[in-house]
């Protein structure tokens, strides 16, 4: 009974706190793009060292990134150098709050893997949580009050789901 009640509380809290907005990975690029000037034909380069939401840029590849940063007077020559582009997954919000290797976080991960992941509803909660991780991190960083409230709620729940 205690486990079922706890499951419902955690489920409700997770959905309440963590399902507000959509999520996309980020496309991050560190490259130098080569262009030719439209009228004069001279070659120029533009350094690109930034991230975009993957939905904003479309494909996460150097050619797409180079086209994204050019202005109307330049023609991209499909030449780039540098480390390229990669998709970056957001950091787990709990890792952001507690650090990566704490016993508290290990207990929460064990609960996720051994309890939540074993039911359809639990797997959906896990999917919602991770698909909104970037939004959750942004909200926690913007609002110290929300961060405090979320940490307090997790601190209250974590001992009940701790390792047996």
pLDDT tens figures, 127-138: 888 777 777 888
The least confident of 4-18, 78-92, 108-122 is: 4-18
pTM of the model: 0.48
**Packing angle between helix 103-114 and helix 144-161, nearest 10 degrees?**
70
Give the N- to C-terminal CA distance of the chain in Å, as an integer.
Answer: 16
Is the C-alpha dihedral spanning 12, 16, 17, 22 positive or negative? positive
pLDDT tens figures, 84-108: 888 876 677 887 777 777 888 888 8
Boundaries of every domain in the chain: 2-23+90-161, 26-88
């Amino acid at each position: 009974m205690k486990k079922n009640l706890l499951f419902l509380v955690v489920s409700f809290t997770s959905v309440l706190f963590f399902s507000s907005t959509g999520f996309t990975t980020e496309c991050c690029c560190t490259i130098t793009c080569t262009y030719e000037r439209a009228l004069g034909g001279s070659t120029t380069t533009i350094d690109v060292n930034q991230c975009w939401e993957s939905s904003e840029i479309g494909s996460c590849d150097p050619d797409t990134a180079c086209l994204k940063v050019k202005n109307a007077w330049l023609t991209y020559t499909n030449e780039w150098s540098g480390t390229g582009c990669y998709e970056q997954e957001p950091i787990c919000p709990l890792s952001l709050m507690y650090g990566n290797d704490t016993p508290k976080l290990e207990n929460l991960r064990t609960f996720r893997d051994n309890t939540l992941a074993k039911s359809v509803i639990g797997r959906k909660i896990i999917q919602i949580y991770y698909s909104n991780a970037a939004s959750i991190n942004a909200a926690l960083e913007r609002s110290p009050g929300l961060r405090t409230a979320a940490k307090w709620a997790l601190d209250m729940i974590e001992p009940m789901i701790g390792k047996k």
